[in-house]
Structure 1
Amino acid sequence: MTDLLWQKPGVRVDQRIQQFCAGDDVILDREFFLFDIRASAAHAEGLQRIGILSTDELAAIRRELDVLADDFRAGTFVLDDRYEDGHSAIEARLVERLGDTGRRIHTGRSRNDQVLVATRLWLKDRLATLQSLCGEVAGVALERAQAERDMPLPGYTHLQRAVVSSLGMWWAAWAEGFVDNAMRARDTLAWVDANPLGSAAGYGVNLPLDRDHTTAALGFGRLQVAATYAQLSRGKFELAAIEALSSAVLDLRRLAWDLSLFTSAEFGFVALPSQYTTGSSIMPNKRNPDVIELMRASYASVAAGRAEVEHLLSLPSGYHRDLQFSKGAIFHAFGRGLGALGLLPDLLRNLEWKPDAMRAALDPSMYATDLAVDLAREGKPFRDAYREAADPARWSGGDPAASLTARVSPGAAGDLRLDVLRERLSALID
């Protein structure tokens, strides 16, 4: 390992303790590394603006940071156990290439604000991806809601047949859900979009750092003003990001549950694209819905990440090393969650419904609620109408198309208001 940034003469480093403290930090920092390089370039610009670096020194640092980023992308520079973490790797590379000029890069900053700025930049990128995926899912659901709006589908409560529903209603539910999820991702991104660079270890430094410049250079929406709050906010904004992710993955879990049921022989309502199923290792007859089952399971990883970060935050003000463990939690949560969501749009585009099976599952009892409401509309007190409609003798069959057309309350099958959902989605995209 290269010399530790904090190592002092006469202090012996116990390798077992160092391994425990560093853990898998240098491996995890591969996720952050390009963002850390970008933030280092902005910090160097800020140092040049206040006279700590010369114009030539800044140019040299920027050049070497660009080369380092290219080498990292190409795999010719690898973050490994030669380094304590990604931050020290950047400094070591600059010192190796530039000598004393490289040693100036850490002036006015701490690894604390380095990790904060890299985390916020990384989360902005992931939240933008989350918003985009949710918008794409909503768009697919709206297209299919329009195309299949009148196709009857049994509606269930308590997993029991309840009322006649439609594919239009099923798709519209997921469309609105993912519009909401995209809105939450957008709003969370705006909240995370604050620049902590220049807060150092949480108490500022005795230099007139140009924090407004680094805010603009890194594309942040605003400056995180209070240096101490920059540290207090760590964990808090990661939680907010995971909660935005969990909102979408929770909907994914429930959607996957529907498809798990609907693809079973007992329902037989839908066929998945063949690439979304796998075979059994022993039973030649099987095609298993493994993909949607793993989509359903992905929420567990997101929830685990949230719990891990939340439990780290029983801390007083100031920086504490406990917070190091938040990195693995957010990487795992977003890796698993976005991985599952990324497969969803094509799945929804290509699944095939089986209208005959859906229609065959409609039994006469499912029109009882329609009958009760019709009787109430004719003037009967609803409880009297309810008791009358509960009599199986009144269940003489029904017309699913008429049932759906008559369901005219806003948002029901007869008045889906897909145009309203399209407008909300368009506003998000714009």
Structure 2
Amino acid sequence: MSDLLWQKPGVKVDARIQRFLAGEDVILDREFFPFDIAASLAHAEGLLRIGILAADEFAGIKIELANLAEDFGNGDFVLDERFEDGHSAIEARLIERLGDAGRRIHTGRSRNDQILVATRLWLKDRLARLHALCIESAEVALARADAEASVPLPGYTHLQRAVVSSLGMWWAAWAEGFIDDAQRARDTLAWVDANPLGSAAGYGVNLPLDRDHVTRALGFDRLQVSAAYAQLSRGKFEMAAIEALCSALLDLRRLAWDLSLFTSAEFGFVALPAQYTTGSSIMPNKRNPDVVELMRASYASAAAARTEIEQLLSLPSGYHRDLQFGKGAIFHAFGRGLGALELLPDLLRNLEWKADAMRAALDPSMYATDLAVDLARQGLPFREAYQQAADPARWAEGDPEASLQARVSPGAAADLRLDALAARLRAVRHVARSGDA
């Protein structure tokens, strides 16, 4: 490992202690590294504007940061155990290439606000991707709701046959769910879109840093004004981002449960695309819905990450090293969560329904509610109508299409209001960027 930024003369560094202090930091920082480089460039430009860097020094830093980003992207520069973390790697590279100009890059900042701004930029990137995936999934579900609106599907409560439903209702439910998830991702992105760079270790510095310019240069919507609150927001903003992710993964979990049930031989309602299934290592007859099952499991990683960060935040104000452990949590949450959501739109496009099996699962009892409502509409008190409709002797084979056409309440099979959902989808499709009206 290179010399530590904070190492004091005459103090020997214990290798075991340093391994514990560094932990996985240098590996985890690979996720942040491009954002850390971008923030370093904006900080250097800010130093130029207040006279800390000369124009030629800034020009050299700009070139070397671009070279470092390129080298990191193509694998020529590896963030490894030679460095304590990504921040020290950037500084070491600039010092190696530029000498004193590289030594000036850290003027006016701390590794505290350096990791804060890199994390914030990373979260914005991931929330934008979450928003886009929710929009795409909602679009697919809405299109299929329209195309398959009147195809009968058994409706269940308590996993028991309940009433006649439709594919239109099933698809519309997920469309609206993912529209809500997209809106939550967009709103959370807007909330975390605040620049903490220039807050240093949480108390500012005795330099007239041009924080407003750096905010604009990095594409943030606003400045996180209080230097002390910048530190207090660490973990809080990460939890909010994970909660937005969890909202989408909750819908994915329940959708995946439906597909797990519907693909079983006992239901037989749907066939998954072949590439979304795997085989058994011992049973030649098996095709397993492993992808769907891991989609279902992905919520657990995000929920665990949120809990881990929440537990780290049992702290007084100011920076504390405990917060270092939050990095792995957000990487694992978004890594697994977005990985699952990336696969969802194509799954939804390509799954195939088995209409005959769905129709065969409709039994006479599933028309009992229709009968009770019809009797009530004819003037019978509903509780009396309910008792009469509960008599199996009154049940008969029904017409599923007629049952669906009679379900005229808003949001039911005969009035799906897909146009209203499409309007909401259009409204939440746009993500505001810095400078947008």
Confirm or deny that 1:226 pairs with 2:226. yes
Residue identity opposite 2:14 in structure 1: D
**1:352 maps to which residue?**
352
**1:99 maps to which residue?**
99
Tell me, in whole angstroms, the C-alpha distance in 2 between the residues paired with 1:80 and 1:36.
16
**1:82 maps to which residue?**
82
Give the Å deviation of 1:396. 1.3
Confirm or deny that 1:243 pairs with 2:249. no
Tell me, in whole angstroms, the C-alpha distance in 2 between the residues paired with 1:378 and 1:58.
83
Confirm or deny that 1:277 pairs with 2:273. no
Matches within 5 A, 1:229-378: 229-378=229-378
Per-residue CA deviations over 1:64-116 (Å, capped at 9, x if unaligned) read 00000000001000000000000000000000000000000000000000000
Give the Å deviation of 1:211. 0.2
Give the Å deviation of 1:292. 0.2
Tell me, in whole angstroms, the C-alpha distance in 2 between the residues paired with 1:92 and 1:420.
56
Per-residue CA deviations over 1:326-376 (Å, capped at 9, x if unaligned) read 100000000000000000000000000000000000000001111111111
What secondary structure does 2:82 align onto?
Answer: coil
What secondary structure does 1:415 align onto?
Answer: coil
What secondary structure does 2:366 align onto?
Answer: helix
Give the Å deviation of 1:377. 1.1
Residue identity opposite 2:359 in structure 1: R
Residue identity opposite 1:317 in structure 2: S
**1:178 maps to which residue?**
178
Tell me, in whole angstroms, the C-alpha distance in 2 between the residues paired with 1:248 and 1:347.
16
Confirm or deny that 1:22 pairs with 2:14. no
Tell me, in whole angstroms, the C-alpha distance in 2 between the residues paired with 1:265 and 1:429.
38
**2:433 maps to which residue?**
none
Residue identity opposite 1:268 in structure 2: G
Confirm or deny that 1:157 pairs with 2:157. yes
**2:4 maps to which residue?**
4
Per-residue CA deviations over 1:145-174 (Å, capped at 9, x if unaligned) read 000000000000000000000000000000
Tell me, in whole angstroms, the C-alpha distance in 2 between the residues paired with 1:295 and 1:226.
40
Tell me, in whole angstroms, the C-alpha distance in 1 between the residues paired with 2:38 and 2:403.
59
Give the alignment's Cα RMSD to 1 decimal.
0.5
Residue identity opposite 2:424 in structure 1: R
Tell me, in whole angstroms, the C-alpha distance in 2 between the residues paired with 1:95 and 1:380.
87
Q: Which runs of 5 or more residues in structure 2 are unaligned?
A: 431-437
Give the Å deviation of 1:300. 1.0
**2:429 maps to which residue?**
429
**2:209 maps to which residue?**
209
Give the Å deviation of 1:428. 1.7
Tell me, in whole angstroms, the C-alpha distance in 1 between the residues paired with 2:52 and 2:148.
65
Give the Å deviation of 1:397. 1.5
Residue identity opposite 1:282 in structure 2: I
**2:119 maps to which residue?**
119
Tell me, in whole angstroms, the C-alpha distance in 1 between the residues paired with 2:322 and 2:91.
24
Identity percentage over the alignment?
Answer: 82
Tell me, in whole angstroms, the C-alpha distance in 2 between the residues paired with 1:353 and 1:123.
37
What secondary structure does 1:284 align onto?
Answer: coil
Per-residue CA deviations over 1:190-227 (Å, capped at 9, x if unaligned) read 00100000000000000000000000000000000000
Residue identity opposite 1:108 in structure 2: G
What secondary structure does 2:4 align onto?
Answer: coil
**2:129 maps to which residue?**
129
Tell me, in whole angstroms, the C-alpha distance in 2 between the residues paired with 1:210 and 1:162.
64
Tell me, in whole angstroms, the C-alpha distance in 2 between the residues paired with 1:420 and 1:403.
23
Give the Å deviation of 1:429. 1.9
What secondary structure does 1:131 align onto?
Answer: helix
**1:410 maps to which residue?**
410
Give the Å deviation of 1:304. 1.0
**1:199 maps to which residue?**
199
Tell me, in whole angstroms, the C-alpha distance in 2 between the residues paired with 1:380 and 1:87.
75
Tell me, in whole angstroms, the C-alpha distance in 2 between the residues paired with 1:164 and 1:56.
74
Give the Å deviation of 1:427. 1.3
What secondary structure does 1:207 align onto?
Answer: coil
Confirm or deny that 1:168 pairs with 2:168. yes
Query: How high is the TM-score relative to the length of structure 2?
Result: 0.98
**1:399 maps to which residue?**
399
Query: How high is the TM-score relative to the length of structure 1?
Result: 1.00
Tell me, in whole angstroms, the C-alpha distance in 1 between the residues paired with 2:371 and 2:36.
64
**2:64 maps to which residue?**
64
Tell me, in whole angstroms, the C-alpha distance in 1 between the residues paired with 2:209 and 2:374.
72
Aligned length: 430
**1:44 maps to which residue?**
44
